Amino acid sequence: MPETITIVGAGMMGTALCWPLCDNGHTVRLVGTPLDEEIIHSIRKTGVHPKLERKIPATVKTFLCDELPGALRGAGVVVNGVSSFGTDWFVEMVAPRLVPGVPVIAVTKGLHVLPDGDVQPLPDFIAERLPAGMHEKVSLNAIAGPCIAHELAVRRQTCVVFTGHDLSILRSLKSVFATRYYHIRMSTDLKELEICAALKNGYALGIGIAVGMFDKSGSDGLAQMYNPQAALFAQSCLEMRLLIKALGGKEEHASWLPGAGDLYVTVYGGRTLRLGRLLGQGFSMAQALDQMAGVTLESVEIITRLAGALLVLEGRGLVQSGQFPFLQFLDGVINHDEPVAFPWDRFCLV
Amino acid sequence: MPETITIVGAGMMGTALCWPLCDNGHTVRLVGTPLDEEIIHSIRKTGVHPKLERKIPATVKTFLCDELPGALRGAGVVVNGVSSFGTDWFVEMVAPRLVPGVPVIAVTKGLHVLPDGDVQPLPDFIAERLPAGMHEKVSLNAIAGPCIAHELAVRRQTCVVFTGHDLSILRSLKSVFATRYYHIRMSTDLKELEICAALKNGYALGIGIAVGMFDKSGSDGLAQMYNPQAALFAQSCLEMRLLIKALGGKEEHASWLPGAGDLYVTVYGGRTLRLGRLLGQGFSMAQALDQMAGVTLESVEIITRLAGALLVLEGRGLVQSGQFPFLQFLDGVINHDEPVAFPWDRFCLV
């Protein structure tokens, strides 16, 4: 049954959802955040999303930030397409306007660390900040798994996971979004899937460092560096698995769509890989950030938060020192100006 | 302590081991099989291995096939660098000349299927075929994990797993081979690691098909197809895990070096990927094999054998119908001329 879907946030991933939603005959409203004004103006003028570099479906209605209230009115589903750095804005501006019985689904990755070192997925973080009395009435969900926005926008075959606490709501969301190219799996293992969805950004940065080290040194006539990348890939899977296990989740998800699958696409490009390459080429963190001015880097935030969480979890005896050498190496490079020297001897030990 | 190491088989992977072995000061003997005569002649003439396209370390001594007995005499370790298609030759020509107490380690991947559907790793297959009385006296081991020969030959950081039944022998082998760039992990989980090492070739072929489908269709202006590849990657990990579990092994190895890690490097290139691309571009199996004349394709053999094994295992109630849609799809394309149409709806279900 056709519905009205409001996508809040006109970034690449939120916008890419216009394709399956329009193909399913829904009315789609795309709302820019305060940072998306230019994008909305550009779409209104040319029909083209400037970052996706592609005309969005003609039936999509665009809204500027100050038109948000009207855009939310009557929506059957709300998509949270705001970057994790805009979560406070979402809580302030969107949360109070959510309606009982209308579910929210986020494309945003983001993990909050609780004082006891446990992690809180973004949907739970937002749920706690809903207006009084709304907590039980608005279901917050998330999309995880390997999905490059550009590819969804040309209808490439894509498999993702819809995750939340209520399977019946996940089923109804699936029926709204699923197409012959957008394949949706469902899982109520929200925490472990969001751990993978977030952590893979951190590890992709690390694999980018290995790519960058070759950019610098490649004087041996060989234009590839896959052996080191593969070892780092395996170590990433291992650390995701160990963290999930320590936090009481199903460790096998680390090799599913949001873990290994999502890491696989993330290392192919994008800003996370670019930062890693700069570090691998020998730039300091400050120099690398300088070169990437204006780009939001969720990977850096995730590494920093999780490195902190590990200390607390170690204190509680839930993880052991040395179990996460890759994450600690990344924290050292990013936050403590440590050299880009992978501790190979500590990797891939099981 | 320097030893004499005899590498039987002068293919790329066997030859690449010359670098860590020579760096450790060992005397290395490289012996060509009947198929390697040209390689040995080329090395003798120019010092260059024609497929690695690189001068091998100057201290390596080369042997032609008929010089095998002398090459094996006095060796402290024998490396089996013969392709799995040469296993009968190895059993006939090398096995009778093995010496009690001198371990063998194979770079070859290969799985044999037993009548009950269980799989037998190559070292166990060869052990059963040793001359009478030798079974307990010669230890057969294998190397698994992500290692492109060209990269080992330029001393790129590489992490592999040495696997066999006796940890003390694995330790002594490690001390012979390990360098500052060739990092060795040890595991006695021989069967599950060899399952991963073999199966990753089959799944890499399948991911190659997705790459090839884009080669053909790429008219939408987007030069990438990572979403489908990532979903196939996750499905590969899932099926490796399920097969290991069904055969009583540690399923978590599917996301370690020989599983996810090795699959990661295998999809970057080589003959397996090339066959997959041809199939994805629309060539039939017969046409694709025709274009690849002369290339041995372990991936095809592995898919065919494992598809057969699944039928037996299903009959025994150890696996369920539909648990391995990717492997069955590949068997259909390769052996039954089925169309290259991925069953997306059956993938990544957990």
Token pair 């094999």: residue: B289
- Name B180's Cβ contacts closer than 8 Å, sequence gap at least 6: none
pLDDT of A295 > 80? The answer is no
Do the Cβ atoms of B348 and A241 come within 8 Å? no
Write the pLDDT tens digit of every residue in B90-105: 999 999 999 999 999 9
A349 at interface of B, judged by CB pairs closer than 8 A: yes
pLDDT of B268 > 90? The answer is no
Do the Cβ atoms of B264 and A233 come within 8 Å? yes
- Name A5's Cβ contacts closer than 8 Å, sequence gap at least 6: A21, A26, A27, A28, A29, A75, A76, A77, A78, A79, A176
Do the Cβ atoms of B348 and A254 come within 8 Å? no
Output the CA–CA distances (angstroms, integers) from residue A298 to A32, A36, A120, A305, in the order listed.
Answer: 20, 18, 16, 11
pLDDT of B218 > 60? The answer is no
pTM recorded for the entire structure: 0.96
Better-scored residue on pLDDT, A297 or A36:
A36
Smallest Cβ distance to A347: which of B159, B228, B268?
Answer: B159
Q: What is the pLDDT of residue B224?
A: 73
Write the pLDDT tens digit of every residue in B126-168: 999 999 999 899 999 999 999 999 999 999 999 999 999 999 9
Q: What is the pLDDT of residue B216?
A: 65
Rg (CA), chain A: 20
Cβ neighbourhood burial of B300 (10 Å; 0-12, 13-18, 19+): buried
Q: Which of B55, B137, B200, B216 is catalytic?
A: B200
Contact B94, B68 (CB under 8 A): yes
Do the Cβ atoms of B261 and A154 come within 8 Å? no
Among candidate residues A305, A304, A308, the one with its CA nearest the CA of residue A334? A304
Inter-chain Cβ pairs, chain A and chain B, closer than 8 A? 185
Q: What is the pLDDT of residue B294?
A: 65
Among candidate residues B179, B164, B160, B161, the one with its CA nearest the CA of residue B21? B179
Among chain B residues, CA nearest to A252: B252
> Cα(B300)–Cα(A142) distance, rounded to whole angstroms?
39
Token pair 């790129």: residue: B156
Question: What is the dihedral sign for C-alpha A105, A131, A308, A245?
Answer: negative
Question: What is the dihedral sign for C-alpha B309, B311, B315, B320?
Answer: positive
Write the pLDDT tens digit of every residue in B161-178: 999 999 999 999 999 999
Identify from B17, B52, B226 which residue to disrupt to test chain A contact, counting A C-beta atoms within 10 A and taking the largest count.
Answer: B226
Q: Which of A61, A200, A245, A250 is catalytic?
A: A200
Q: What is the pLDDT of residue B215?
A: 75
In this structure, what DSSP letter does residue B7 have? E
> Cα(A201)–Cα(A269) distance, rounded to whole angstroms?
11
Half-sphere exposure of A209 (CA within 13 A, CB side): 24
Write the pLDDT tens digit of every residue in A56-95: 999 999 999 999 999 999 999 999 999 988 999 999 999 9
Orientation of helix A226-246 relative to helix A190-217, angle to 10°: 160
Identify from A170, A227, A347 which residue to disrupt to test chain B contact, counting B C-beta atoms within 10 A and taking the largest count.
Answer: A227
Contacts of A222 in chain B (CB under 8 A): 150-151, 154, 156
Read off the pLDDT band of B298 (50, 70, 90): confident
Of B65-69, B219-223, B239-243, minimum mean pLDDT range: B219-223
Q: How far is CA B221 from the centre of its chain?
A: 36
Q: Which long-range contacts (CB under 8 A, 24 or more apart) does B67-71 make?
A: B67/B31, B68/B8, B68/B31, B68/B93, B68/B94, B68/B97, B69/B97, B71/B6, B71/B8, B71/B29, B71/B31
CA distance B157 to chain A (A): 5
Read off the pLDDT band of A297 (50, 70, 90): confident
Q: What is the pLDDT of residue A176?
A: 98
Contact B220, B195 (CB under 8 A): no
The ipTM assigned to this model is 0.95
Do the Cβ atoms of A230 and B265 come within 8 Å? yes
Contact A183, A160 (CB under 8 A): yes
Output the CA–CA distances (angstroms, integers) from residue B5 to B26, B36, B106, in the order listed.
Answer: 7, 18, 13
Smallest Cβ distance to B261: which of A220, A224, A234?
Answer: A234
Task: Describe chain A by its helix, strand, coil percentages, rounded to 5.
Answer: 50, 15, 35
Q: What are phi and psi of B290, to 5 degrees?
A: -60, -45
Contacts of B209 in chain A (CB under 8 A): none
B48 at interface of A, judged by CB pairs closer than 8 A: no
> Cα(B184)–Cα(B163) distance, rounded to whole angstroms?
10
B215 at interface of A, judged by CB pairs closer than 8 A: no
Smallest Cβ distance to B252: which of A225, A229, A241?
Answer: A241
Write the pLDDT tens digit of every residue in A39-62: 999 999 999 999 999 999 999 999
Q: Calculate mean pLDDT across residues A250-266.
A: 95
Structural domains of chain B in order of their starting residue, each with its CATH number: 4-188 (3.40.50.720), 192-346 (1.10.1040.10)
Write the pLDDT tens digit of every residue in A113-123: 999 999 999 99
CA distance A23 to chain B (A): 17
Contacts of B273 in chain A (CB under 8 A): none
Identify from B49, B53, B143, B156 which residue to disrupt to test chain A contact, counting A C-beta atoms within 10 A and taking the largest count.
Answer: B156
Orientation of helix B298-315 relative to helix B271-280, angle to 10°: 80
> Cα(A256)–Cα(A108) distance, rounded to whole angstroms?
19
Scanning A223-282 for CB atoms below 8 A from B yields 224-231, 233-234, 237-238, 241, 251-257, 259-262, 264-265, 268
Scanning A75-134 for CB atoms below 8 A from B yields none
Three-class SS state of A105: strand
Of A275-289, B82-96, B125-139, B283-297, minimum mean pLDDT range: B283-297
Q: Within A47-141, where are the H helices?
A: 68-72, 87-89, 122-127
Do the Cβ atoms of A345 and B228 come within 8 Å? no
pLDDT of A218 > 60? The answer is no
CA distance A230 to chain B (A): 5
A200 is catalytic: yes
Contacts of B167 in chain A (CB under 8 A): none
Q: What percent of chain A has pLDDT over 70?
A: 97
DSSP-derived secondary structure for A175-189? HHH--SSEEEEEES-
Read off the pLDDT band of B23 (50, 70, 90): very high
Among candidate residues B27, B54, B184, B228, the one with its CA nearest the CA of residue A348? B184
Token pair 């490396």: residue: B79
B220 at interface of A, judged by CB pairs closer than 8 A: yes
DSSP-derived secondary structure for A8-65? E--SHHHHHTHHHHHHTT-EEEEE--GGGHHHHHHHHHHSEETTTTEEPPTTPEEE-G
pLDDT of A270 > 90? The answer is no
Of A186-195, B141-150, B271-280, minimum mean pLDDT range: B271-280
Most distant CA pair in chain B, distance: 65
pLDDT of B220 > 80? The answer is no
Three-class SS state of A111: strand
Do the Cβ atoms of B264 and A183 come within 8 Å? no
Q: What is the pLDDT of residue B219?
A: 63
